[in-house]
Chains A and B, each alone.
Chain A
Amino acid sequence: MSASFRPDFNVELSSRALGPNVPQRIGRLLWAPMLVMAVMAFPLGLAIGIARANLVATGGDAAMIAALGHLGPAAMFVGFAAVFAAISFAIARILGVLRAGGGQVQEAAGRRVQTLRMPPTAWAFIGLMAMAMMVILAGVAGNVVVGASIAGGSTDLLAQSDGWAIWFEGVRRIGVALYLVAIALGLATIIEALRFQAIRLRELPAESAD
């Protein structure tokens, strides 16, 4: 295998098709477990919301209402973190199929295999996705700590519950925005992979078979 710089794309040259790279293999493995986690977390968040509404309606314990006000969004955003991770992994899986499949076609045609190296958008996709996941989970952890402390009898935190809730909400929201931008970068990478394939396919008939 060797690195080759075409004027238009940064590619790897090989005689055989390359398989998916590590992030793409992780994507293939993890998209489904992440989806399952999300599908479990969303109803839990709704159930906590309904329980809290019931306490509000029946004049229940103020501390428990405040605690559930933290724990409900925490469950819901575990779901969002998981579903965005599942989307990101599914995009990585598509990129893996494009990488491996493009190589297979070139190999089947008996031509030298050119494989697109990871473009900057793919690196940014991975970095931003990891950052977004950590930011959302930081907000969730804050909600869980404050919620559990209020449920455990902390009057100081109960008095400041609204302020903490607003802060954690802000943190979770920026995490979601980062995740959405990461997904946009992942999809932009798919466009680049498809552009390379369309160009590469047109080059193949003019090249001599091995």
Chain B
Amino acid sequence: MALTFGALTRPRSESEVREPSRHRTIGLSVAAVGLALATISLINSIVAGDLARQAVSADQVGSLGAWSFGLTTAAFATVKLAIGLILLGIVRRIWLRVESVKASLPGLIRARASDTAPLGEFESDFGPATATATAPRPLLIHRLAGLMWAPMLAMGVMLVHAGLLLSFVVAGNVAADPALASSQRAWVQGLQFLGEGLLLSGISFLLGTILGAIRAGGGEVQESLGLTVRTLRMPLTARLFIALMMVGFMVEIAQFVGYAYIATIPGTADYTVFSTWLGPLRELGLGTLLSGIVLALATIARALGFQFARISQIITSGR
């Protein structure tokens, strides 16, 4: 399994270097589909809002609202899947860039140092770093990220679309069987937001895979030249990213459990009370996951900055 995912993230042939990224093209096309779905949902909301303001038919408004919710969430999931595809393209491009650095760097070194740099911990311009004789092993979180991004994205897409199908069923039941519709609506919300949480976790794992590729690629290049391998240590932003991702995902599991519970008590006062705070809770979970993603991106910027500085150092000093 890990071998298969490895083939997805690391190109086998360097011939791809010049070719435009297919992941980029496909990802942007999928994102456009997501935006089109969201536009349909917007039109639906305008119609439903107008009907509600005129107090025409509560059943009709409820029916429109049911499938509109399902469709909007599916639209968001579609764009998130697109983001995942583009991130996969970034991972592949990072490896192609590593191959380019390996191929070109020996011809660019302007000075050859006779001595080797000292090993051990040191403080770089980008934070604490280590110097070792060989490339460091991948961190546990990077190995985990490489294994988990694909199942997370796949499960997320499945749950969101299962919720979308159920939302169409809810729309048909609003007038005929309100209690059943309430129960099913709870399942729709729980399933779709768990799916959204899985998708954002998949994106987070892809960002972790990018960080792993930057670290491993940097080590490979330095080791291949017989140089001291300098590696940035995991910065605070990366640690906070992992923590926020875990907390956000746990909140999404909690909201799913909450919705699964209220699905058993439709039409009761408790149903109304629980659904009033479960809505903000599920959004808090997504917000937490997104906050983690911000920190992952900040970590990528730092790691790339360290890498550029290291390449320039190798070129000018040869050590």
Contacts and interface: CB of A to CB of B under 8 A. Distances in A.
A94 to B, nearest CB: 5
Nearest to B50: A163
A42 B100 contact: no
Contacts of A93: 297-298, 301
B304 interface: yes
A77 to B, nearest CB: 9
A18 B79 CA distance: 33
Contacts of B28: 121, 184-185, 188
Contacts of B31: 180-181, 184-185
A185 B31 CA distance: 9
Nearest to A170: B45
B236 interface: no
Interface in A83-121: 83-84, 86-87, 90-91, 93-94, 96-98, 100-102, 104-105, 107-110, 121
Contacts, number: 242
B272 A56 contact: yes
A90 B100 contact: no
A53 B276 contact: yes
B295 to A, nearest CB: 8
Secondary structure call for the A interface = helix
B82 to A, nearest CB: 5
B294 A57 contact: no
Interface stretch (B15-23, B117-125, B132-140, B169-177): B15-23
Interface string B271-300: 011101101110110011011011101101
Interface residues of B, number: 83
Interface in B176-224: none
5 contacts: A35-B295, A42-B288, A97-B304, A181-B32, A191-B93
Interface of B: 17-18, 20-21, 23-24, 27-28, 31-32, 34-35, 38-39, 41-42, 44-46, 48-54, 61, 65, 68, 72, 75-76, 79-80, 82-83, 86-87, 89-90, 93-94, 96-97, 99-101, 103-104, 107-108, 110, 269, 272-274, 276-277, 279-281, 283-284, 287-288, 290-291, 293-295, 297-298, 300-301, 304-305, 307-309, 311-312, 315-316
